[in-house]
Amino acid sequence: QTLKRDFSIIKKIQRDNLFGAKEISRLLEIEVDGIRRTLVNKEEEAKNLQDALEEIKTNGIETNKSTNKKKFFGLQKIKQKTIRGPLLLNSPANSASDATYDASTNHNIMISDKNSENLVKLNAEAILMRKQFDLLRRITVEEMRSLPEQAKDWAGQAARALVVSSNENEKLRMELAMERANRRRILNEVQDLRGNIRVYCRPRSIDSDNREFIISAPSNEICLLHREKFLDDDNNNSKDDGPLSFEFDRVFKFGAEQNEVYSEMEELILSVLDGYNVCIMAYGQSRSGKTHTMFGDCTSDVIIGNDTSPDVSIHGDGMQILAAQQLFTIAEHRKERFQDSFTLNIVEVHNEKLRDMTAGTDIAEKCGQIKGYEGRSRVPRGSKEKGSENNTSLAGESNDTKDGKINKLEIRTNYDGDTVVQGLISIPVNSFDDVEQVWNETLAAQASRCQEQGIDSRTHTASSHVIATLQVVSTNIATGVGTVGKIQFVDLAAANISPKRSSSKNKSTTMGSIMSGIGKNNECKFTDKSITTLSDVIQSRSQFTRKVPYRNSTLTHLLRDSLEADTKVLCIVCVSSDIKDIQETACTLRFASAMRKVVIGKATKHTVSLA
pLDDT band at 508 (very low <50, low <70, confident <90, very high): very low
Q: Average of pLDDT values for 166-175?
A: 86
For residue 503, what are the contacts with CB-CB under 8 A and spacing of at least 6?
A: 579, 580
Q: Single out the residue of 475, 469, 471 nearest to residue 334, CA to CA.
A: 475
Residue 57: the pLDDT is 67
Specify whether the CB–CB gap between 377 and 412 falls below 8 A. Answer: yes
- What confidence score (pLDDT) does residue 17 get? 72
Higher-confidence residue of 496 and 208: namely 496
Q: What pLDDT, in 10s, does the model give residues 413-463?
A: 887 778 888 889 999 999 999 998 998 898 888 888 888 888 877 777 888
Q: Determine the pLDDT at residue 12.
A: 76
Q: What's the confidence (pLDDT) of residue 395?
A: 45
Q: 242 among the known binding-site residues?
A: no
pLDDT surpasses 50 at 379? no
- Residue 288 in marked binding region: yes
CB 327 within 8 A of CB 274: no
The residues, ordered by sequence, that sit 6+ positions from 147 with a Cβ below 8 Å of its Cβ are: 21, 25
Residue 515 clears pLDDT 60, i.e. is over it: no
Does residue 79 surpass a pLDDT of 70? no
Separation between Cα atoms, residue 332 and residue 339, nearest integer Å: 9
Helical (H) or strand (E) element with 203: strand 198-204
- How many Å apart are CA 327 and CA 278, to the nearest integer? 13
Query: Which of the four pLDDT bands, split at 50, 70 and 90, describes residue 68?
Result: low
Is the Cβ–Cβ distance between 186 and 249 less than 8 Å?
A: no
Helices (H), 85-207: 92-194
Asked if residue 55 has pLDDT above 50, the reply is yes
The mean per-residue pLDDT over the stretch 358-383 comes to 63
pLDDT band per the 50, 70, 90 thresholds, residue 505: very low
Q: What is the mean pLDDT of residues 200-218?
A: 78
Of 272, 415, 281, the C-alpha closest to 344 is 272
Instruction: Please check if 287 is assigned to a binding site.
Output: yes
pLDDT average, residue stretch 457-479: 88
Is 290 one of the annotated binding-site residues? yes
Beta strands in 430-518 (DSSP E): 464-476, 481-491
pLDDT-wise least confident of 136-140, 172-176, 199-203: 136-140
pLDDT at 401: 54
Model confidence at 365: pLDDT above 60:
yes
Q: To the nearest whole percent, how much of the chain has pLDDT over 70?
A: 71
Q: What is the pLDDT of residues 229-264, one digit of tens each?
A: 666 544 545 545 678 889 998 999 988 899 999 998
Q: Which helix (H) or strand (E) holds 585?
A: helix 582-596
Exposure class string for 69-82: b at 16+ Cβ within 10 A, else e: eeeeeeeeeeeeee
Q: Which helix (H) or strand (E) holds 37?
A: helix 2-84
289: annotated binding-site residue? yes
The answer to the question of whether 543 is labelled as a binding residue is: no
Q: List, in sequence order, the alpha helices (H) in 224-339.
A: 258-270, 290-294, 319-333
The share of the chain scoring above pLDDT 90, in percent, equals 18
Q: Which of the given ranges, 13-17, 109-113, 219-223, 493-497, has the highest pLDDT on average?
A: 219-223
DSSP sequence for 309-354: PP-EEEES-SHHHHHHHHHHHHHHHTTTTEEEEEEEEEEEEETTEE
Gap between the Cα atoms of 206 and 219, Å rounded: 20
Pairing between β-strand 406-413 and β-strand 397-400 as defined by DSSP bridges:
antiparallel
- pLDDT average, residue stretch 558-562: 89
pLDDT at res. 372: 59
Burial annotation 437-476 (CB, 10 A radius, 16+ → b, else e): bbbbbbbbbbbbbbbeeeeebeebbbbbbbbbbbbbbbbe
Task: Tell me if residue 173 falls in helix, strand or coil.
Answer: helix
CA 516, 519, 522, 528 dihedral sign is negative
Q: Which helix (H) or strand (E) holds 216?
A: strand 215-216
* Residue 330's pLDDT band (cuts 50, 70, 90): very high
Query: What is the average pLDDT across 7-13?
Result: 73
For residue 389, what pLDDT is reported? 36
What's the predicted TM-score (pTM) here? 0.64
pLDDT value of residue 211: 62
CA distance 534 to 540: 10
The pLDDT of residue 388 is 37
Give residue 85's pLDDT band: very low, low, confident or very high (50, 70, 90). Answer: very low
Please report the pLDDT score of residue 450 as a whole number: 83
Q: How confident is the model at residue 522 (pLDDT cuts 50, 70, 90)?
A: very low
pLDDT of residue 405: 56
